[in-house]
Amino acid sequence: MDVEAGLVATKSLAIVYLAQKRHQSYVGRDSMQLLNRSLASLVPNYLWQHADDTDVLLLHETEFDEPSQAKVLEPYVGLPIKFVPIPSKYWSLPPWLASANNNASAHHKKLPPHSRFLMPNWKQISHYTVGYRHMIRFFTLLLWDFMRELGYTYVMRMDEESRLGSRVPFHFPSRMRREGVEYAYRQVSYESGGAGEHFHDFMREYLLSNENAWLEAATASAASTLWLFDSCKAPIMARQAQLTHDGAHDGSRAALVNASLALAANFSRLRCGEMYGVYNNFFVTRVGFWHRPDVQHFLRHVDRQSFIYTHRWNDILWHSATLQTFLPRAQARLYDDFTYEHASTRDNPASPLQGCWYYGGISQGRTDASDALELASSFRARFCPDVEPCVQRYVAAKPDGGAVSLVSLTAGSVVVEHPDCSSVPAWYLCDPGNADAATAHHPGKKVFFRAHQCAEQV
Ligand SMILES: Nc1nc2c(ncn2[C@@H]2O[C@H](COP(=O)(O)OP(=O)(O)OP(=O)(O)O)[C@@H](O)[C@H]2O)c(=O)[nH]1
Ligand SMILES: [Mg+2]
């Protein structure tokens, strides 16, 4: 397939990276070196086996010239990996923000100096560049159009820090088709767009003002599709259970509608805690899901509200909110077969903590037979040793019988937690600081915690 010529892909899956030479927001980060390492993990652990149905697209802002492209691709001659410039329509400000920030435009003249739409007022603008915000917008809503234009049915994301640490023992599109899975991910990050209620306010207001967009799917069966509410406080859950039961019992959709609206009206960070987020620096999804009219309605609303740019609310929030509003829980799946790593590191070259890992981490897969302790210590040896990670230990069944001991080491509010609470360890020890944030609604569990609905089962 010739992507540059705009021909339609003959393969199902595109694996996309957003590539740059040096990170434009994190001054100390050598993005190209990270990209090389990431590719070196992807090729033997997935691409070799599935090159006939996969393209790897290194998307860039025309920053890589022919010689620098050749340098990255040199070890992979004959493999379907190519650089692709991102068309400007997929890498630009939405028109209303462009005009709000154009001194000559009428829109600009109407805005007061403190307006959140003006770039100098954007949160953390001195640290996170406009490009970083384009990246969020791209992964939130423009990637789907780009992939459809190129003809791919499935798309997978890898970041420069993403690494596959063991072989993926299946072909993503085949397994997802077989299991009816629309979105696969590997780790979970509890987030709410910073402190306070703003993100929850945003979601609650959307749900209450746009019932037609989500209620039909949410009440199509007695099992509510809206797992956005799964973490909400027990009394709210009980109310839902009661009303769901009544609805199922007397066949009345009205009861389900009432339950869903009551839950929406009560959706707040205080009552529901941080949102269960897909840590989406790795995901695989069916492109068509994102073009569903209800999903598009939500994404267009998100875009129009502009919090991506003004508040730097990230694509983890948007992917997670979309899945938990529009997709039955069983169609989003945490695939834990393979080892995956995404460790964010500090980027201030003047600081002694430069290069230290502070968010994300490594999670060992069920089919990775490495010794858990060795895996953990070699991971820690690559970063600063003073991080107190969240440690999860598992005993998993091996495909050929017997058991294997697995480990996950993560920092920040990243964990491995299946959305339906299957295959989670009995407990795990995480950073108590994060536990406070994530368990505001479960005050008894300060150190050992599960913040999603699994907490109800402990
Ligand atoms: N071309 C280009 N790529 C970018 C830009 N900002 C980020 N990226 C890439 O987009 C991907 C995601 O960015 P990251 O900085 O890793 O973002 P993140 O993982 O959400 O955030 P961290 O947890 O802070 O790492 C990486 O592969 C980056 O290199 C940009 O301005 N231009
Ligand atoms: Mg990243």
- Residues 185 and 52 reside in one and the same domain: yes
Residue 258 Cβ inside 6 Å of ligand 1? The answer reads: no
Q: Cα-flanking dihedrals φ and ψ of residue 57, to 5°? A: -110, 120
In a domain, 101, yes or no: no
Q: Both tokens of residue 423?
A: 């295959």
C-alpha distances (whole Å) from 226 to each of 253, 259, 322 are 15, 11, 10
Atom from ligand 1 closest to the CA of residue 359: 23
Query: For the chain, how many structural domains are there in total?
Result: 3
Return the half-sphere exposure (C-beta side, CA atoms, 13 A cut-off) of residue 54. 23
Q: Are 97 and 309 in contact (CB under 8 A)?
A: yes
Atom from ligand 1 closest to the CA of residue 160: 27
- Tens of pLDDT, residues 90-121: 999 999 999 999 999 998 999 999 999 999 99
- Residues 302 and 413 reside in one and the same domain: no
CA–centroid distance, 261 to ligand 1, in Å, is: 37
Q: Cα-flanking dihedrals φ and ψ of residue 428, to 5°? A: -150, 155
Q: Both tokens of residue 176?
A: 């997802």
- Residues 127 and 177 reside in one and the same domain: yes
- Tens of pLDDT, residues 339-388: 999 999 888 778 888 888 889 999 999 999 899 989 998 998 888 877 77
With a cut of 50, say whether residue 443 has pLDDT above it.
no
- Residues 379 and 450 reside in one and the same domain: yes
In this prediction the pTM is 0.91
In a domain, 154, yes or no: yes
Residue 159 Cβ inside 6 Å of ligand 1? The answer reads: yes
Q: Which residue has the higher pLDDT, 422 or 371?
A: 371
Nearest-angstrom CA–CA distance, 361 and 138: 24
Nearest-angstrom CA–CA distance, 37 and 161: 8
- Residues 32 and 137 reside in one and the same domain: yes
Atom from ligand 1 closest to the CA of residue 159: 27
Range of 84-93, 191-200, 377-386 with top mean pLDDT: 84-93
Burial class (CB in 10 A: 0-12, 13-18, 19+), 103: exposed
Domain final residue pick, 224, 244, 272: 272
CA–centroid distance, 146 to ligand 1, in Å, is: 18
In a domain, 113, yes or no: no
- Residues 177 and 303 reside in one and the same domain: yes
Q: Which residues of 346-382 are buried (b: 16+ CB within 10 A; e: fewer)?
A: bbeeeeeeebbbebbbbbbbbbbebebeebbeebbee
With a cut of 70, say whether residue 245 has pLDDT above it.
no
- Residues 281 and 300 reside in one and the same domain: yes
CA–centroid distance, 406 to ligand 1, in Å, is: 29
Within 10 A of 233 (CB to CB), how many other CB atoms are there? Answer: 16
In a domain, 350, yes or no: no
In a domain, 342, yes or no: no
Domain final residue pick, 220, 243, 272: 272
- Residues 262 and 393 reside in one and the same domain: no
- Residues 422 and 280 reside in one and the same domain: no
Q: Both tokens of residue 139?
A: 């992964």
CA–centroid distance, 345 to ligand 1, in Å, is: 12
- Residues 156 and 76 reside in one and the same domain: yes
Q: Are 154 and 284 in contact (CB under 8 A)?
A: yes
With a cut of 60, say whether residue 433 has pLDDT above it.
no
Q: Please state, for a pLDDT cut of 90, what percent of the chain lies above it.
A: 57
Low-confidence winner among 20-24, 124-128, 398-402 (lowest mean pLDDT): 398-402
Residue 20 Cβ inside 6 Å of ligand 1? The answer reads: yes
- Residues 177 and 33 reside in one and the same domain: yes
Residue 135 Cβ inside 6 Å of ligand 1? The answer reads: yes
Residue 54 Cβ inside 6 Å of ligand 1? The answer reads: no
Q: Which residue has the higher pLDDT, 100 or 4?
A: 100
Q: Are 19 and 35 in contact (CB under 8 A)?
A: yes
In a domain, 354, yes or no: no
CATH code where residue 298 lies: 3.90.550.10
Q: Please state, for a pLDDT cut of 70, what percent of the chain lies above it.
A: 84
The average confidence (pLDDT) of the chain is 86
For strands 183-185 and 13-18, give the pairing.
unpaired
Mean pLDDT value of segment 69-86: 97
In a domain, 106, yes or no: no
Low-confidence winner among 181-195, 293-307, 406-420 (lowest mean pLDDT): 406-420
In a domain, 294, yes or no: yes
Fill in the amino acid letter for 232: C
Ligand with an atom nearest the CA of residue 140:
1
Which residue's CA is the nearest one to ligand 1's atom 30? Answer: 131
- Residues 366 and 382 reside in one and the same domain: yes
Q: Are 286 and 178 in contact (CB under 8 A)?
A: no
What residue numbers bound the domain in which 238 lies?
198-272
Give the H/E segment covering residue 411.
strand 403-411
Domain final residue pick, 272, 288, 303: 272
Q: What is the pLDDT of residue 31?
A: 92
Nearest-angstrom CA–CA distance, 36 and 225: 40
Residue 280 Cβ inside 6 Å of ligand 1? The answer reads: no
